[in-house]
Amino acid sequence: MTNENRGLQKAKRNKKDEFYTQLVDIERELRHYRSHFKGMVVYCNCDDPYVSAFFEYFTKNFEFLGLNGLITTCYRSKQMNLFSQNDSEQAIKLEYTGGAPNSL
């Protein structure tokens, strides 16, 4: 087993398969598409916008990218358990139109 996928193999054995895109990877890739975002509204579907690296990237770079809006939706369990059985979840929608990040 190579060092590159040792973590993946371990996670597979332990059934811990929640891998999220890191902020540094998002920044590295999306820098090539800055002009494509100008005047756009971005829809970000995520598990939880307050821990999503994509949501963080778009709120921090909202003005820089020239976005008109950022909309995110998710399901949040009252139990706050990522692996809930969907029996007590409600939909959450956040809209961000710029300004202070705490205005969500």
- Residue 33 domain flag: yes
Residue 13 lies in a domain: no
CA distance readout (Å), 16 to 11, 33, 83: 5, 32, 11
Question: Would you write out the chain's pLDDT as a tens digit for each of its 104 residues?
Answer: 567 778 777 766 765 555 678 999 999 999 999 999 999 999 998 888 888 899 999 999 999 999 999 999 988 655 555 555 555 467 889 999 998 655 55
* Residues spanned by the domain of 77: 21-98
Q: Is residue 11 part of a domain?
A: no
Q: Could you give the number of structural domains in the chain?
A: 1
Q: Tell me if 16 is assigned to some domain.
A: no
93: left (phi over 0), alpha (psi -120 to 50) or beta: beta
Q: What is the pTM for the complete model shown?
A: 0.69
Q: Among 9, 73, 12, which residue's Cα sits nearest to residue 46?
A: 73
